[in-house]
Amino acid sequence: MSVFFPSTPAAGKPNLADLRQNYERGALDESTLPADPNVLFQLWLGDAIAAGVVEPNAMTLATVSSTGQPSARTVLLKGFDERGFSFFTNYESRKGRELTSNPKASLVFFWKERERQICVRGEVSLLSREESDAYFQSRPYGSQIGAWVSEQSLAIPNRAWQEDRDIELRAKFPEGSVLLPPNWGGYVLKPDEIEFWQGRPSRLHDRVTFKRSGEAWERFRLSP
């Protein structure tokens, strides 16, 4: 039984082969692009926010294990500056362990309302404890406690286990007194390559990629 390419789709079942979108909201013209991809990223992020994209700072983070097995998941971009793209997580999670053994990682933003994708490749390093603490202290109380509750990526007995832990930890750390967990903090990904993708009609999309070359960036148009 195939649900992917049914020649005669069953009633009520999606025919995935026929799900497609024609992209026609924009174009990428090198003559008008900034020479610095960081500037372009900021323009596109601002545009996504202005366009009302839901969670425009959500990005897919791909990491690779020491055996070469990739894993991808969504995280939130929490900072962007001359060092790169920052996010926060549990250092002992799967992603944290993989980044320790292999700091090379990739990020993908997909802003479907703008028919745009940005793919970033580079290497991560840890943000300082001071920066991690500053961000942690800005989080809502429940999220601060959540970082203590979660032994992220480990198997737990059931839902009640984490709800009990939440109650215990709220008693231990009243609001305003939650310390930064030792296994939680930020990473920054320094980009070596940033690719901008704009959907175009008939699959003739625009792809422009910037590769770091010393202190400068080289720019190429890629075949879609």
Ligand X SMILES: Cc1cc2nc3c(=O)[nH]c(=O)nc-3n(C[C@H](O)[C@H](O)[C@H](O)COP(=O)(O)O)c2cc1C
Which range, of 10-18, 86-94, 130-138, 165-173, touches ligand X by CB under 6 A?
Answer: 86-94
Shortest distance (Å) from residue 204 CB to ligand X: 31
What is the number of residues in the chain? 224
Query: Residue 108, interface with ligand X (CB under 6 A)?
Result: no
Report, as residue numbers or ranges, the catalytic residues. 203
Shortest distance (Å) from residue 64 CB to ligand X: 12
Instruction: Give the one residue of 40, 95, 197, 198 binding ligand X; rule: CB under 6 A.
Output: 95
Which range, of 2-10, 27-35, 93-101, 193-201, touches ligand X by CB under 6 A?
Answer: 93-101
Q: Are 60 and 85 in contact (CB under 8 A)?
A: no
| Euclidean distance between CA atoms 105 and 128, whole angstroms | 19
What part of residues 41-60 is at the interface with ligand X (CB under 6 A)? 55, 58
The residues, any chain, with a CB within 8 Å of residue 20's CB and separated by 6 or more, are: none
Q: Are 42 and 81 in contact (CB under 8 A)?
A: no
Nearer to ligand X, 40 or 189 (CB): 189
Which range, of 34-42, 45-53, 88-96, 203-211, touches ligand X by CB under 6 A?
Answer: 88-96
**What track of x and - describes contact with ligand X for positions 145 through 164 (by CB under 6 A)?**
-------xx-----------
Q: How far is CA 131 from CA 38, 125, 127, 168, in A?
A: 21, 13, 6, 27
Query: Residue 219, interface with ligand X (CB under 6 A)?
Result: no
The total of other beta-carbon atoms located within 10 Å of residue 22's CB is: 10
Nearer to ligand X, 23 or 88 (CB): 88
Q: Are 187 and 127 in contact (CB under 8 A)?
A: yes
| Euclidean distance between CA atoms 77 and 60, whole angstroms | 10
Q: Note the residues at the interface with ligand X (CB under 6 A).
A: 55, 58, 71, 73-76, 87-90, 93-95, 152-153
